Every structure is written in C-alpha cells, then in structure tokens.
Chains A and B, each alone.
Chain A
Amino acid sequence: DIRMTQSPASLSASLGETVNIECLASEDIYSDLAWYQQKPGKSPQLLIYNANSLQNGVPSRFSGSGSGTQYSLKINSLQSEDVATYFCQQYNNYPNTFGAGTKLELK
C-alpha cells in the first residue's frame, strides 16, 4: 500500500496568515492527489483533486501543488471558517490511502 505522510500534525495560525500543509507519498502517485477539509462532527469535503484542481464551490484562497511524491495545500488569507482538520488522499493505486491529518487552529 502507498503510505501518505502528512505534516505538520497540527498547526496554529492567525487570521489572514498563509498556511501550508505537506503530503509525501511513499512512491510516485502521478498527481492523483486530493485534499479534504473536515470540520468536527462533519464528513470530509473535497477541496482539491488531481493535485491542483479546485473543486466546484471551494474558495480560491485554497490551492494545491506538487508532483511525483511531494504535494502541498496552501491556504491564503486564513479565515475563521478554515479551522478544521485537513487530509490528503492518493487515488493512483488501490487501496486509496489517506494522510493522518493536519489539525488547523487559530492562534
């Protein structure tokens, strides 16, 4: 199975700040990488797919980048509603595998 190593595990940032979350795959996943946002008690919501494609309805302050084994999620101008846990997912190979998550809090 492809292992997804996500960092940091937790992150504290101020409103308006830019935040970066990283995901490292144990092998090349050819940009088959998605990012999800999960708020407490809710199901995950798709933000980014194919490493850098913004899902419909997702604010443009979210962006994704990367290739090969290294990927990142960037949140520009952090808003209070962005407080959540973020997960990466590779879907290049079955089983799909997820990162352990990054919990984002406000400073």
Chain B
Amino acid sequence: QVQLKESGPGLVQPSQTLSLTCTVSGFSLTSYNVHWVRQPTGKGLEWMGVIWTGGSTDYNSALKSRLSISRDTSKSQVFLKMNSLQTEDIATYYCARELNSSYMPFDYWGQGVMVTVSS
C-alpha cells in the first residue's frame, strides 16, 4: 500500500541546515509528484515545495533562497534541505503525495517529523 515516512534529526542548531528524508513505498516517484508541507505546533499548514515526476522542482518564494528538494528514484527517497534555520522554522514537517496528476491536492501524507531549533 501507499506509504510515506519522514526521517531526520529532531533538533537543529540555529543557523544550521535541516536535512530530511521522505521514503515512499507503493508508488513510483516518476509517476507521482511529492510535496513538502510544514505546520508549526497548533497552527496552520504551509506549502514548502514540490518535486515533479520529471525531477524538476518548485518552491514557495518565501523559502526559495534557503530550500532545496531532490530525490533518488532508485531508493524511492525524496530529500529536503533547508539552511539558516531559525526558531520560526520550528514545526512538524510532512511529505505528501499529490493525487494522480498535476495541480491536485494531497491524498497520502507521512506521519510527520517534529523539528526543533535550539542550541
């Protein structure tokens, strides 16, 4: 069945780089777009970026200068890297699969990984 699972360090020091991995199963990264979305505790959802089936990416302009999304299709993994982390980046980070084609919502989500920024 379709599954997505985020992994990575739960604690990042201020100004350092966050590296997260989304490992997917039950579908191919060359057939479905995968997005990253984050949610500060008790708050709303913020779309961060997407890696398209062809491997190109798009980012939220608010994060574009700090964010990079890539993938390894052979390992069914999508990677998120965001530099210069600050306390405003404290959130749960989710990867999510886009429903069946472009410009659609997200039908499967990972369980999320909570990231704290602290020295």
Measuring CB to CB, which residues of chain A are less than 8 angstroms from any residue of chain B? 32, 34, 36, 42-46, 49, 55, 87, 89, 91-92, 94-101
Contacts and interface: CB of A to CB of B under 8 A. Distances in A.
B107 A96 contact: no
Interface string B83-119: 0000000000010100100011111011110000000
B11 interface: no
Closest 7 pairs (CB-CB, A-B): A34-B105, A43-B109, A96-B47, A98-B45, A95-B60, A100-B44, A49-B105
Given A46-B106, A101-B44, 12 more contacts: A34-B106, A42-B111, A44-B94, A44-B106, A45-B109, A46-B107, A49-B105, A89-B45, A91-B105, A94-B58, A95-B47, A98-B47
- Mostly helix, strand, loop or mixed at chain B's interface? loop
Contacts of A99: 44
A100 B44 CA distance: 5
B46 interface: yes
Contacts of B106: 34, 44, 46
B61 interface: yes
